[in-house]
Amino acid sequence: MTVIAVLNQKGGAGKTTIATHLARASQLAGYETLLVDSDPQGSARDWAAACEEQPVPVVGIDRPTIERDLKRVTTHPVIIIDGAPQAADLAVSAIKAADVVLIPVQPSPYDIWAAEDLVKLVLQRIEITDNKLKSAFVISRAITGTRISREVTGALRDYGLPVLDARITQRISYPNTAATGTTVLDAEPDSVAAEEIKSLFRELAVFAGLADETKAKVVE
């Protein structure tokens, strides 16, 4: 079982968009995948309910016992957790449950600064687990061609965590597909947005140890 927690305690970072799309990308890559909504607002559950033939199974665990509850509710080989913003106890529980913590950050000074508290929790867990926990940033909702979008990678690396090369840009495709409980992988499979998600999943699959670079079982 590989557990990937998508966490950011600041709202508006595109966390649920990334979590839902990664869950679907993982399915399409051939992995039996469960999406766990740990946000009391239930955004991922609302997303799932918007599609009558929803292919992604979603369960809600919005209490600070995620690491224990997962063992009771699933045997899926891949689990994606959509984390809760502004809830330190739920973030700690998700971090404890995770093999990989993915931190989406918008390219703005406020979002970069706001990541500090979460990064401290992650670094503490990495130390406690003797580096068994992996974590990385992903730049989310980037605006192509802006200076801050180009400079954000260096700023984030100062926290001591890697920044994935793949990034998610601001596109209307993402909220449009969210409204119907689907993803750009299904609605626009040949689009630039779909390629962004595929690139992110390929890189994350290698980072998480799901696949290696030469034998990657990834979305094409």
Q: What is the mean pLDDT of residues 110-121?
A: 91
Assigned domain for 44 exists: yes
CA nearest neighbour of 204 among 58, 76, 23, 30:
23
Assigned domain for 217 exists: no
Under the banding of pLDDT at 50, 70 and 90, the label for residue 171 is: very high
Cα separation values, 37 from 34, 42, 84, 107, Å = 10, 6, 8, 25
Assigned domain for 103 exists: yes
Output the pLDDT for position 71. 82
Output the pLDDT for position 218. 53
Number of domains in the chain: 1
Assigned domain for 50 exists: yes
Assigned domain for 107 exists: yes
Q: What is the CA radius of gyration of the chain?
A: 16
Separation between Cα atoms, residue 18 and residue 163, nearest integer Å: 15
Q: What is the mean pLDDT of residues 184-198?
A: 96
Separation between Cα atoms, residue 128 and residue 137, nearest integer Å: 20
* pLDDT reading at 108 higher than 70: yes
pLDDT 10s digits, 198-220: 999 999 999 999 876 544 555 56
Tell me the residue range of the domain where 6 lies: 2-208
Assigned domain for 219 exists: no
pLDDT 10s digits, 8-28: 977 778 999 999 999 999 999
Assigned domain for 150 exists: yes
Query: Exposed, middle or buried: residue 165 (CB in 10 Å: 0-12, 13-18, 19+)?
Result: exposed
Assigned domain for 216 exists: no
DSSP characters over 23-48: HHHHHHTT--EEEEE--TT-HHHHHH
Output the pLDDT for position 149. 59
Here the tokens at position 202 are: 């390929």
pLDDT 10s digits, 120-152: 999 999 999 999 999 999 999 887 766 665 678
Which CATH number goes with the domain that contains 154?
A: 3.40.50.300
Q: What is the mean pLDDT of residues 56-70?
A: 93
